[in-house]
Structure 1
Amino acid sequence: MGTVTMLAEGSIGARRTSRQAFLFPGAALFLGQATDQRLHRHRAFEVAIPLEGHMRIETARAPGIGPEAGVLAPLEHHRVIATGRTAFLWVDPETRAARALAQVRPSVDGKGHERLVSLLREMDRSEPTHDEAWALLDLWRSIWLDGLPQLPRLDRRVSEVVDLIDSAPVPLANRYEAADQVALSPSRFSALFTQQVGMPLRKYLLWRRLLFGIRRLGNGASVTSAAVEAGFADGAHFSRVFRATFGCKPSSLANMRVVASEAHPISPRPRPS
């Protein structure tokens, strides 16, 4: 876990960092002015909330004019045209939160949403830590996904593997390697992991590798070197996964403050005794 600052000299203004991204396994939060307004698509659910100015979302179904918030389904061709700064949340479609998002209305009203927007604006004017960003994502979940049950107390075997994955100097290669650590069959352990953590083990491992590669890029590694160290076949493979996840190239992280956590943000949940 840590901050990877990919900023050109002079890119931080007196009032706030130009653009910020907070990356976790299964989710990413972006704050700033959207720069790529071309029609595109990606695998994640996307939530967009204008922090200032106006926002218009165009999709193949119909254009949307100035919503308070928009929810875009995975693989939906779209573009977000914003005149001011905007908050974007990407959620992996195989997580519990994404399955719940599929049931959410495309805009949210009320005091809870107003509080969320106010906190997003405060974050946009500062340089939040990983924990502060995760706390806001947790608030976002509680406002939008009210009634979503909390995940259960971690099974000791899942906790051991999560700790192993998060502390490993390089990402584990596959679910077989993870399941072997607790003497369970890959299929049985994968089912237990999904139930407990809220996303499939194979997807968690992929996010872990992706975030590892992003951190290596932030430390000065080339795309090819970062990709191979993270367990991808080559730089092209890493770039394809990145684009499929976020709808843009790894180079989009240039001149941006990036806070990337390779650990799953499960700390608020009770750990096994």
Structure 2
Amino acid sequence: MLTADSDDWACFEGLCGDAQAHRHLSAQVVVGLSGPARVRGAGGDVVGEAVLVAPGVLHAIVPSGQVGRIVYIQSFGRLAQHWGVAAWPLTPQAAQTPWACRLRGPNPGLTLTAESSASETRSLDPRLATALQTMRQATAYLDLGSVARSVGLSRARLRALAQAELGAPLAHWRAWLQLERALGALRRGENLAAAAALGGFSDQSHFSRTMRRFFGITPQAASRLLRAPRAA
């Protein structure tokens, strides 16, 4: 289930299930609540009380029957700044015990909000920041050329800014923010077709392909996780 979220982070909790290997644009902390967390990276399985995954790192959470808590951290947000995400290794890494203690409490939202407020938001080029906000708030698919023009840039220049400051192509960020909107719709109880439309996807197949690419699961599986009762 989704236990809490903000523009800076999201926190999910439930049984660790099967997922194909994937990469996403956020950083991730996987915390074991009923046993150790196990994350499979390119070099094999990493096991620990908590496992850190940097943005863009290929990984999969290994099904274990354990209850886990997964925190996704916006790579350019305040929490990422506070936790030094930019310096995390490019392979999954078992974290020290304080990470698990920090995130095992009964109300992770309070902890994450406090941690997030301890740092300033990373300074982005204001035109790039505006473009990201435009894409986040969109209710339909946005052409990147029109987004660039709305902030006074060429498409090529906005793409170059995104690559330089965010470390990933602008089209990937558009898809990531589309998923953010679609998952928000699923959380509110919308069906898969409505969620795909609200995310700006051309159809449910487009939504499913993008979901698998960035999260390793289908929208149907995500919907079940978002609506599941809290694991015991």
Q: State the TM-score, normalizing by the size of structure 1.
A: 0.60
Alpha-carbon distance in 2 for matches of 1:82, 1:222: 27
Check whether the contact 1:41–1:77 (CA below 8 A) recurs between aligned residues: yes
Q: Percent identity, aligned pairs only?
A: 23
> What runs of 5+ residues in structure 2 fail to find an aligned partner?
none
The equivalent of 2:104 in structure 1 is: 121
Alpha-carbon distance in 2 for matches of 1:87, 1:243: 20
Q: Structure 1 residue 68 and structure 2 residue 49: aligned?
A: yes
Q: 1:191 to 1:121 in 2, by over 3 A?
A: same
AA partner of residue 64 (structure 2): I
Q: 1:103 to 1:244 in 2, by over 3 A?
A: closer
Q: Structure 1 residue 213 and structure 2 residue 182: aligned?
A: yes
Q: Please, which of 181, 184, 198 is the counterpart of residue 153 of structure 2? A: 184
Aligned-CA RMSD value: 4.1
> What runs of 5+ residues in structure 1 fail to find an aligned partner?
1-18, 143-148, 259-273
Check whether the contact 1:151–1:198 (CA below 8 A) recurs between aligned residues: no
The equivalent of 2:94 in structure 1 is: 107
Q: Structure 1 residue 41 and structure 2 residue 11: aligned?
A: no
The equivalent of 2:127 in structure 1 is: 157
Q: 1:58 to 1:175 in 2, by over 3 A?
A: closer
The equivalent of 1:31 in structure 2 is: 13
Q: Offset of 1:176 from its aligned partner?
A: 0.7
Alpha-carbon distance in 2 for matches of 1:188, 1:79: 40
Q: Structure 1 residue 50 and structure 2 residue 21: aligned?
A: no
Q: Which has the higher contact order (CA 8 A, sep 6+)?
A: 1
Check whether the contact 1:50–1:82 (CA below 8 A) recurs between aligned residues: no
Q: How many residues align?
A: 218
Q: Offset of 1:231 from its aligned partner?
A: 1.9
Alpha-carbon distance in 2 for matches of 1:28, 1:171: 23
Alpha-carbon distance in 2 for matches of 1:216, 1:39: 22
Check whether the contact 1:94–1:200 (CA below 8 A) recurs between aligned residues: no
Once the two structures are overlaid, the 10-residue window that deviates more, 74-83 or 182-191, is 74-83
Alpha-carbon distance in 2 for matches of 1:254, 1:104: 29
Alpha-carbon distance in 2 for matches of 1:60, 1:155: 33
Q: State the TM-score, normalizing by the size of structure 2.
A: 0.69
Q: Please, which of 197, 200, 205 is the counterpart of residue 236 of structure 1? A: 205
Q: 1:46 to 1:133 in 2, by over 3 A?
A: closer
Check whether the contact 2:41–2:92 (CA below 8 A) recurs between aligned residues: no
Q: Offset of 1:88 from its aligned partner?
A: 2.3
Q: Report the structure number with the largest CA radius of gyration.
A: 1
Alpha-carbon distance in 2 for matches of 1:43, 1:167: 23
